[in-house]
Amino acid sequence: MACAAHGHNPGPVTEPAPVPVLCIDRITRRLAGRVAVDALSLAVVRGEVLGLLGVNGAGKSTTLRMIAGVLAPDEGRVLLDGADLYEQPGLGRRGIGYLPERAPLHAELSVTEFLVFCGRLHGLPQREAVAATQREIERCDLGEVRQRLIGQLSKGFQQRVGIAQALLHAPALVVLDEPASGLDPVQSLRMRELIAGLRDNHAVILSTHLLAEAEACCDRIAILHRGQLRQLAPVTPGETARLEQVFLRIAADLDPAVAAA
């Protein structure tokens, strides 16, 4: 099966030994007549943070939307614990936590109200949803704003509420689309710490266009360009240099000024 994770990887790879929580098997998606994601295959195991790295338009968000069950692939399959997500959409209800690029929040509700609703939506009974809300409020450091309306919160707090809603139902897979986007350096640092802590209980896949950010919080990095996988490698000192070279080559392709520098 193409879920061996490395369909287009041109370099040597390290095969994850445990059974993957997520397998995407040659998924392709066209948007507005353009191939946004092209026969992409990847796998993520529990306890691992996989970063999708790429410039704007590389296909990161489209890939994550397909993984989250929000956008059906034209071809290929998304397998969650071996079952096809688009044949059994209910799998995502308990199995996936998703934070899109813009956190899906209801500005007119308080943080607590919104999180309890998200827990209920993901199938938790009322009592469990309330308990999970308290747990995630603590974990995401939202205690001081728990009764505030979401629309009145800063971008950093809103992003944390977005992460909390993705974690409430303790999903096997957490999907984060540019989780640190728009945050100040201190908030970014806290976000990295939060993401690093997630690997204890979840498989995590996140997207970013910053190599340093990917290196700081990911175990493996997949570089995407024009919807294709260009490089997949673990974050180790040797591999990091190679990842940087690939990423710079892509940037130079797009902007000759980078090549000149």
Contact footprint for another protein (CB under 8 A): 31-32, 65, 68-72, 89-94, 96, 98, 100, 102, 104-109, 113, 117-118, 120-122, 165
Q: What span, in angstroms and rounded, lies between the C-alpha atoms of 4 and 13?
A: 11
3-state helix, strand, coil in the chain (%, to 5): 40, 25, 35
Q: Measure Cα distances from 34 to 30, 50, 148, 177, 222 in Å.
A: 5, 26, 42, 21, 21
Nearer to another protein, 74 or 141 (CB): 74
Nearer to another protein, 105 or 217 (CB): 105
Nearer to another protein, 54 or 171 (CB): 171
At its nearest, how many Å lie between another protein and the CB of residue 255?
A: 26
Rama region for 26: left / alpha / beta (φ>0; ψ in -120 to 50; rest):
left
At its nearest, how many Å lie between another protein and the CB of residue 183?
A: 18
At its nearest, how many Å lie between another protein and the CB of residue 62?
A: 9
At its nearest, how many Å lie between another protein and the CB of residue 194?
A: 20
At its nearest, how many Å lie between another protein and the CB of residue 31?
A: 5
Q: What span, in angstroms and rounded, lies between the C-alpha atoms of 179 and 190?
A: 11
Nearer to another protein, 174 or 232 (CB): 174
* Backbone angles phi and psi of 18, in degrees to 5: -70, 165
The type of residue at 67 is I
The type of residue at 190 is R
Nearer to another protein, 77 or 122 (CB): 122
Place of tokens 């998200």: 118
